[in-house]
A and B are shown apart, each in its own frame.
Chain A
Amino acid sequence: MIEIKDLRKEYPGFTLQCSLAVPAGTITGLIGQNGAGKSTLFKSLLRLIRINSGKVTILGKDLSEISENDMRMIGSVMAESGFSGYLTLRSIRRIMKSFYPAFREDWFTAQYRKFGLPDDRQIREFSTGMKAKLKVLCALSYGAKLLILDEPTSGLDVAAREDVLDLLRAYMKEDEERSILISSHISKDLETLCDDFYMIHEGQIILHEETDRLLSDYAMLKVTPEVYEKLDKQYILRTVQESYGYSCLTNQREYYQENYPEIVVEKIGIDEVVLHVIRGGKAQ
């Protein structure tokens, strides 16, 4: 669905340089700190900015060949933009109908009523959460083959976030060929949703892993300096110095559990991996 090869976008003081792939039928997460390059990557995919070099293929077509019709097969949510705040939901329904022949008006109406969004108030009067829900509903309302979602759950409370994630799961179930590229600063969302994820830091992809593998094989080893000295470091990805010694990130949890039964081996989530990959150094 998406294939990015050596994409390069330069700004003064920042360069995005990355490659990634989102195959058909998968949900791929993109995680990284603020300013890591997530939005720049999304904007490149949606042709909102011009890339300096690299090859980007979406729906089997080069980015420069994507037509207005192809855009009808892509649904997107951008973190900081949406329909004009002066429009009402009722107006948006009419506009979506005009833009997308496949617009599912009944579904859209049922969903926004379910979310409690008023259709006679201007969008600028909506809360951040209401705006976020509306953006996701619009992106899902015409059966797009590919979703490109930049922080779609931003501003939502726990219950609303779960509702949105359920919508995304249902969207994938409807057609197994569909794909999603999603970014979120809430790693729990990605853990429960994504098949794999890419971690981006200072414009570079620094980790790509399947979510299942991350949750089952990645672990944190907590060791004293003495144990650290003797530790086999071939499967240690990153090391951070702590008050008690070292915490080490590994992608071979079982290996250390079997060979070093005396050390503390903790299962971890995406957040801990992100923190360690960013803060940690290579094992010495």
Chain B
Amino acid sequence: MKGLMVKDLLLMKDQWKSTLIVLMMGFFMSFSFDSSVTIMYMTMIGCMLALGTLAYDEFDNGYQFLFTLPVSRRTYVIEKFAVVICWGICAMAAGFLMSALTGFLKNGVLQSFSLENCVGVLFSASILASIMIPIRIKYGSENSKIVIYVMFGIIAAAVLAFSKLKAAMNFANTVGQWLSGVSDTVIALTLIAVIILGITVSMFISFRIIEKKEY
């Protein structure tokens, strides 16, 4: 595991130019947009950079070599989730820092952020990781793009259908009334439970995929 972590960190270190651009973009965004947009942007881009290590591993039959090292396939999957989550959290922290700093520069006060804000961002990042890791392992970086386009197409269609249904059933009001009765802490804890469940399920799916693959 340690060797894989070191490899991924060194690969990401070599992407310092991309990281710098992301940081600068985030910084400029924090002046123009709401802090939640900046934080979400930073977290998602951070996760995407970490997910990029899967493409590096694939390059030049890399998997074939990787699995001749003292690394089991399960360890590889666990390490990928760990790297993406850690990198996402680091990027989120950078997003918070930037938003706080620009808030201070603009208004002269340090902006505070709620736990719910953090959990919401983490929830989105975990969905991204839980979907992308098994798909990338199964289809490879190139083919997974097609799968992801198709999947997002299906999600967009589902959202459209749901929004029409919602309008017809006055769903927003019903859900809004129900949610207003639930405390923010309960919602945050529920989301954390969903994040853990989603990652666990995705990890087991990834185990099955990678153990069936031949390199």
Give chain A's interface residues, CB within 8 Å of chain B.
Answer: 43, 46-50, 67-69, 71-72, 74, 76, 78, 80-88, 91, 94-96, 98-100, 122, 124
Contact = CB atoms under 8 A, between A and B. Distances in A.
A46 B68 contact: yes
A86 B54 CA distance: 12
B59 interface: yes
B61 A81 contact: yes
A84 B214 contact: no
B15 to A, nearest CB: 9
A245 to B, nearest CB: 47
A86 B214 contact: no
Interface in B40-99: 56-57, 59-65, 67-72, 75
B214 to A, nearest CB: 4
Given A49-B214, A78-B65, A71 B70 contact: yes
Given A72-B70, A87-B7, A94-B10, A48 B60 contact: no
A83 B68 CA distance: 11
B67 A47 contact: yes
Nearest to A48: B215
A71 B67 CA distance: 10
B3 interface: yes
A88 B10 CA distance: 9
Contacts of B72: 67-68
Given A68-B72, A99-B69, A82 B3 contact: no
Interface of B: 2-3, 5-7, 10-11, 14, 56-57, 59-65, 67-72, 75, 214-215
A76 B68 contact: yes
A91 B7 CA distance: 8
Given A68-B75, A94-B6, A99-B69, A50 B62 contact: no
B68 A71 contact: yes
A69 B11 contact: no
Contacts of B59: 84-86
Nearest to B56: A84
29 contacts: A43-B215, A47-B67, A48-B64, A48-B214, A67-B72, A68-B75, A74-B68, A76-B68, A78-B64, A78-B68, A80-B60, A81-B60, A81-B61, A82-B65, A83-B65, A84-B56, A84-B59, A84-B62, A86-B59, A87-B7, A87-B10, A87-B11, A91-B7, A95-B3, A98-B3, A98-B6, A99-B2, A99-B69, A99-B70
Contacts of A72: 70
Of B14, B56, B70, which is in contact with the most chain A CB atoms at under 10 Å from its CB? B70
Contacts of A122: 14
A74 B69 CA distance: 9
A40 to B, nearest CB: 10
Contacts of A78: 61, 64-65, 68
A98 B215 contact: no
